[in-house]
Amino acid sequence: MRRKLIISVFVLLAFGGWEQICAQDLHFSQYFNSPLLVNPANTGFNPDYDYRVGGNYRNQWANLGSAYKTMSAWGDTKLFANRFEDGWMGVGFSLLKDAAGSGSLTSTGAYATMAWHQMLGYNSLLSGGFGIGFMSKRIDISKLSFDNQWNGKFFDITIPSNEPFAYSQTTYLDLQMGLNYAYFASDKVYFNAGVSVMHVNMPSESFFDASVSNNKVLRRYTAFVNSNIKVQDVWIVNPNIYVSKMGNAWETVLGCNANRDLSGDGTNQLVLGLYYRYNDALIPMIGYQVNDLKITVNYDATTTNLSGFNGTLGAYELSIVKSGIFPSSAGRAVKCPTVRF
């Protein structure tokens, strides 16, 4: 019974109510492996390659029921890299889906993003991007129970809920924008920082009539800093920090991952990482990279009071990223130095 109440609270927080409640925005612990979701200025920001495609899957709070399952597929590519000597354009797409509460609430989105990357001399790069997308949220009201359906022993779904739902689906336009700055100190040291704003237009999102509730999706502000450092020609270490704010809710993730060259030429790499989400979870990560294909998995071990209910099983996550070069670009010089094996 206690577990059911906890799950119900999570679902209610996810879609809000009559008051302005901060919902959980779509996110991944491996935020660096879902770059377009973090900042539209990341679109086409991949100096070594012409394109990337990726997929992410996250299963959260499985021990509490089917609370959250988040999936994404994305891709981006460069344009005009051969036309301009000091810059290029990036275009990309992302598809998102989030399911919560045994299918009671689903979010589906499709976004198109674009960015311009401008070299500032040989060692610096400034990027600006924006995105536009459509989000749809659907809820199966028949699977929900409410306080006035409690008969003293259990929730009786035959009792009318008297909740003023007007819709079971809501759709809205969503806008985002961001900036990135990169400094390439040498072929062994790289620095990158970025800021972004999601839900710039603060779209309306409600399953009720506007006269009852006109809930707005709050703007989400995100900043990140990371660096790649090559150590003894066999390790590339990537310390980074990510901070996001949406309404009164904060998310801070900091840690480090490192690639170990196993083959001597970078074609086979072991990926190890450890992160901490402040006041939430410890996140170990492991992966493997073969040529231009990288697969990584992580495990969120809950460190809060919730661990008593889920046995520290906060979430597990899988990311797959494939980068590549078009045949027509073979032999083309990279416009800025990058850290690689």
Assign 330 a pLDDT band (cuts: 50, 70, 90).
Answer: low
Is 217 inside a domain boundary? yes
Q: Tell me the residue range of the domain where 218 lies.
A: 2-329
Is 120 inside a domain boundary? yes
The per-residue pLDDT for range 25-84, each reduced to its tens digit, is 778 999 999 999 999 999 999 988 999 999 999 998 766 656 688 999 999 999 998 888
Q: What per-residue confidence (pLDDT) applies to 81?
A: 84
Is 183 inside a domain boundary? yes
Q: What per-residue confidence (pLDDT) applies to 140?
A: 82
Is 214 inside a domain boundary? yes
Total number of domains constituting the chain: 1
Question: CB under 8 Å to 327, separation ≥6 — which residues?
Answer: none
Q: What's the rounded Cα separation, in Å, for the pair 209 and 170?
A: 11
- Please give the DSSP secondary-structure letter assigned to residue 152: S
Q: What's the rounded Cα separation, in Å, for the pair 51 and 64?
A: 39
Is 96 inside a domain boundary? yes
Q: What is the pLDDT of the chain when averaged over all its residues?
A: 86
Are the CB atoms for 57 and 318 separated by under 8 Å? Answer: yes
Is 338 inside a domain boundary? no
> Domain with 299 in it: what CATH number?
2.40.160.40
